[in-house]
Amino acid sequence: MDMNFMSSRTAPGNAAPQPLPDLRGMTLPELGAFAVAHGEPVYRGRQLAAWVHARGVGSVERMTDLPEALRARLASQAAITSLHVAHRAEADGGDTIKYLLACADGSTVESVFMRYDDGRRSVCVSTQVGCAMACSFCATGLAGLTRNLTAAEIVDQVHAVQRDLGERVNHVVFMGMGEPLANYDATVRAVRLLAAPYGLRLSARHLTVSTVGLAPQIDRLAGERLPITLAVSLHAATDAVRSRLVPINRQFPLDVLLAACRRYGDATRRRLTFEYVLLAGENDGADDARALGARLRGLLGHVNLIPWNPVPGMPHRRPSASAISRFARTVGGYGVATTVRLERGVEIMAACGQLRRAQTPGIRPRRIAPAVG
Residues that are catalytic:
110, 352
By beta-carbon proximity to ligand SAH, the closer residue of 291 and 311 is: 311
Rounded to a whole number of angstroms, the minimum distance from the CB of residue 12 to ligand SAH is 36
Q: Residue 162 or residue 354: which is nearer to ligand SAH going by CB?
A: 354
292: closest CA among 275, 315, 317?
275
Cβ-contact 189, 25 below 8 angstroms: yes
Residues 6+ apart with CB under 8 A from 287: none
Beta-carbon neighbour count of residue 208 at 10 Å? 17
Residue ranges in contact with ligand SAH by CB under 6 A: 135, 137-138, 175, 179, 210-212, 233, 275, 277, 306, 308-309, 311, 351-352
| Residue 48 or 139 having the CB closest to ligand SAH | 139
Q: How far is the CB of 275 from ligand SAH (least distance, A)?
A: 4
DSSP state of 177: S
Separation of alpha carbons 282 and 240, rounded Å: 11
Of 27 and 127, CB closest to ligand SAH: 127
Within 8 A by CB and 6+ apart from 247, the residues are 133, 134, 135, 136
- Closest contact distance (angstroms) between CB of 283 and ligand SAH is 12
Cα–Cα–Cα angle for 96, 101, 107, nearest 5°? Answer: 145
CA distance 203 to 156: 17
Are residues 126 and 111 in contact, defined by beta-carbon separation less than 8 angstroms?
A: yes
Shortest gap between Cβ of 210 and ligand SAH (angstroms)?
4
Q: How far is the CB of 173 from ligand SAH (least distance, A)?
A: 8
The minimum distance between CB 311 and ligand SAH, in angstroms, equals: 5
Closest to ligand SAH by CB, 51 or 274: 274
Residue of minimal Cβ distance to ligand SAH:
309
Evaluated on CA atoms 67, 43, 201, 124, the torsion sign reads positive
Phi-psi region of 317 (alpha: psi -120 to 50; beta: other; left: phi over 0): beta
Q: How far is CA 152 from CA 109, 135, 159, 190, 318, in A?
A: 13, 27, 10, 7, 36
Q: Which is nearer to ligand SAH, 19 or 253 (CB)?
A: 253
